[in-house]
């Protein structure tokens, strides 16, 4: 039994920021190795316009190849109802719609204003209402640029509160907290969890997506864990960023995040050696990409039992 | 008024791990720039055998050159009573004796067992008793390898408790907590603060020395801050390590640590732009050393007011 869920987003958030395109078969090898290492959720791609992000053009094939891996939840990103329909057809278990608190970023990222994105969320809820509960994917809306925007700067708490209220009224399954730009700090993490939970209720706010742009990724994860969050997005080797948020760099590193929790005695269900095997696959597949992380170099402390 | 004290240890812990020897005049330029950036304590060298660590052979000159910088506390490391005498003569404001909880590491590092090191601490207390209170340096004993040793592995809590009791009985001014090997995690940081404070009292345990070997440095600093510690060692660009602890790598990065606290609304009194000026001096002086840190590359968030 794990105390926290590590959601590997490398095949989506990582690869969409790489110049090269990873072949479908290699993505599946990575996802299989991730599952073998004990990861129980992997975000495998995005149902976006393949012309804009050719790196994830094979998302439907990847979902088809990965969804039967035992015990693995297959997550995808969807920018709108069209993507959500494709996600449902693919058989993905979870889909995430990004709702950027910075409306400027929302327009740049998905070409939609806040009212338009809330309409997309409503349309997705209507789509899901027509599907059997057993086959219906879990639907999360992620509040991106929640901690600030590289274009707008500070985002207002009032806007965050309003969007959280709207999403709660729409009835989405879960509201995610996303530090797209690496602007969060441990105090703002605690504040945002408290603010959004006070509106949406504890059960709707479980996960956080952190970037390590300013080196605070693990400190932020610690603060979020201590506030009671249980799902943490991260990417193997810290691959990632945001193509439409200038200066946004990689996600928190799965290897280091798992190490932090395991060292603290918090079970992740993930085996560090298994992650290092995964890393070899990705290193070989992406020779031009820099992989980050401390644990792959330093190893575990002498005498560690995890 | 600052909420925390950042103690810059780069000129000691950093330089002792560099291959090249920085000229005295450059060290003084660095220390002056550090003071100008708002740092109020700098560990400038060690009174050790200059044959073993030629990088810090000029410590007396560095202290003499730096001790009159307005508002700056000049700290040094001393391995024994001989070093302490030299520190007193130099006019340093603070001296730290490393007492390694791993006796194997203590012997390798300073060639002394635990009883011998406790004798050194007693001899230093006797030396200090002969000096006016006004001219007497502050005397800290730092419990190094407190979170584990790269040679011995896990260190026992019983040994930590016994050494803390002995140091409390000897009456040293302060007991420091030191993660020499980068083995700490947020839970063990909280445990060690609680354990040592329960024996020595809150007033004796104020500071922590963290390395970032496994990427948890800032998460550990956050945990220590939340437990009430107020002094944090760090080094510019994360220079540092331990020449006698295999695999121990750099300190937490001053630039990133200051950023974390300032972003959290915790005042450090340190100006990030001033640190970046310092960094230029060190970069130019040590062209063969890799400097670490996220903030020098990513900068502050758009709209940041610190």
pLDDT bin (cut points 50, 70, 90) of residue A243 is: low
pLDDT beyond 80 at B153: yes
d(CA A59, CA A39) in angstroms, rounded, equals: 19
Query: B152: burial class by Cβ within 10 Å (0-12, 13-18, 19+)?
Result: middle
CB-closest option in A148, A249, A264 to B301: A148
pLDDT bin (cut points 50, 70, 90) of residue A244 is: low
Confidence at residue A245, expressed as pLDDT on a 0 to 100 scale: 61
* Beta carbons of B214 and A256 less than 8 Å apart: yes
Using a CB-CB distance cutoff of 8 angstroms, which residues of chain A are in contact with residue B150?
302
Summarised one tens digit per residue, pLDDT across range B175-188 is 999 999 999 999 99
* Beta carbons of B303 and A153 less than 8 Å apart: yes
Pairing of strands B231-234, B207-210: parallel
Total number of residues shown for chain A: 306
CB-closest option in A153, A213, A219 to B219: A219
B→A interface, C-beta within 8 Å: 148-154, 181-183, 185-188, 212-216, 218-219, 221-223, 247, 249, 253, 256, 259-260, 263-265, 293-295, 298-299, 301-303
Average pLDDT (A196-216) is 96
What is the chain A residue with the closest CA to B252? A215
Confidence at residue B113, expressed as pLDDT on a 0 to 100 scale: 97
* Beta carbons of A213 and B263 less than 8 Å apart: no
Average pLDDT (B30-34) is 98
Using a CB-CB distance cutoff of 8 angstroms, which residues of chain B are in contact with residue A105?
none
Task: Give the minimum alpha-carbon distance from B86 to chain A in angstroms, rounded to a whole number.
Answer: 36
Q: B97: which strand partners?
A: B141
* Beta carbons of B247 and A298 less than 8 Å apart: yes
Among A214, A237, A247, A304, the strongest candidate for a mutation testing the B interface, having the largest count of B CBs within 10 A, is A214
Average pLDDT (A282-302) is 93
Q: What is the dihedral of CA B233, B235, B238, B239, to 10 degrees?
A: -120
Confidence at residue A166, expressed as pLDDT on a 0 to 100 scale: 98
Average pLDDT (A225-249) is 84
Domains in chain A and their CATH numbers? Answer: 5-298 (3.20.20.70)
| Range from A244-258, A272-286, B124-138, B158-172 carrying the lowest mean pLDDT | A244-258
Coil, helix or strand at residue B301: coil
Which parts of B91-236 fold into alpha helices (H)?
103-110, 114-129, 157-170, 186-200, 217-226
b/e code A44-58 from CB counts within 10 Å (16+ = b): bbbbbeeeebebbbb
CB-closest option in A183, A214, A301 to B148: A301
Axis-axis angle for helices B59-66, B24-36 (nearest 10): 40
* Per-residue CA distances from A110 to A80, A116, A168 (Å): 8, 10, 21
Contact between B180 and B245 (Cβ < 8 Å): yes
DSSP state of B39: -
Give the number of A-B residue pairs with CB atoms closer than 8 Å.
116
Confidence at residue A248, expressed as pLDDT on a 0 to 100 scale: 60
Average pLDDT, chain A: 95
Q: Phi and psi dihedrals of A163, rounded to 5?
A: -65, -40
Confidence at residue B245, expressed as pLDDT on a 0 to 100 scale: 61
Alpha carbon B187 to chain centroid, angstroms: 21
Summarised one tens digit per residue, pLDDT across range A50-88 is 999 999 999 999 999 999 999 999 999 999 999 999 999
Among residues A18, A149, A242, A278, the one annotated as catalytic is A242
pLDDT bin (cut points 50, 70, 90) of residue A249 is: confident
The question of whether A18 is a catalytic residue gets the answer no
Average pLDDT (B73-86) is 98
Confidence at residue A135, expressed as pLDDT on a 0 to 100 scale: 87
Total number of residues shown for chain B: 306
Contact between B268 and B261 (Cβ < 8 Å): yes
Task: Give the minimum alpha-carbon distance from B155 to chain A in angstroms, rounded to a whole number.
Answer: 10
Summarised one tens digit per residue, pLDDT across range A11-52 is 999 999 888 899 999 999 999 999 999 999 999 999 999 999
pLDDT beyond 80 at B54: yes
Average pLDDT (B266-294) is 95
Among A301, A303, A304, A305, the strongest candidate for a mutation testing the B interface, having the largest count of B CBs within 10 A, is A301
d(CA A187, CA A207) in angstroms, rounded, equals: 17
d(CA A246, CA A180) in angstroms, rounded, equals: 11
The ipTM (two decimal places) reads 0.95
pLDDT beyond 80 at B283: yes
């Amino acid at each position: 039994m794990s105390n926290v869920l590590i959601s590997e987003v490398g095949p989506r958030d990582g690869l969409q920021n790489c110049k090269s395109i990873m072949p479908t078969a290699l993505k599946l090898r990575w996802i299989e190795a991730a599952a073998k290492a004990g990861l129980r959720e992997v975000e495998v791609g995005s149902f976006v316009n393949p012309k804009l992000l050719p790196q994830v053009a094979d998302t439907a094939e990847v979902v088809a190849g990965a969804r039967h891996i035992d015990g693995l939840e297959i997550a995808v990103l969807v920018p709108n109802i069209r993507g959500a329909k494709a996600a449902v057809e693919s058989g993905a278990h979870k889909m995430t719609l990004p709702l950027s608190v910075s409306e400027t970023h929302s327009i740049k990222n998905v070409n939609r204003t806040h009212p338009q994105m809330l309409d997309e969320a409503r349309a997705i809820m209507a789509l899901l209402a027509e599907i059997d509960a057993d086959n219906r994917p879990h639907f999360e809306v992620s509040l991106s640029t929640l901690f600030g925007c590289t274009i707008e700067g500070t985002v207002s708490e009032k806007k965050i509160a309003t969007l959280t209220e709207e999403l709660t009224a729409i009835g989405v399954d879960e509201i995610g907290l996303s530090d797209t730009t690496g602007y969060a700090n441990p105090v703002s993490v605690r504040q945002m969890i408290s603010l959004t939970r006070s509106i949406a209720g504890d059960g709707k706010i479980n996960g956080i997506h952190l970037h390590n742009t300013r080196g605070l990724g693990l400190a932020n994860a610690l603060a979020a864990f201590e506030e009671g969050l249980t799902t943490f997005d991260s990417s193997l080797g810290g691959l990632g960023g945001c193509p439409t948020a200038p200066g946004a760099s990689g996600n928190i590193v799965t290897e280091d995040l798992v190490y932090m929790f395991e060292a603290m005695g918090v079970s992740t269900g993930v085996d560090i050696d298994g992650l290092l095997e995964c890393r070899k696959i990705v290193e070989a597949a992406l020779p031009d990409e820099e992989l980050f992380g401390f644990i792959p170099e330093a190893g575990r402390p002498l005498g560690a039992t995890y």
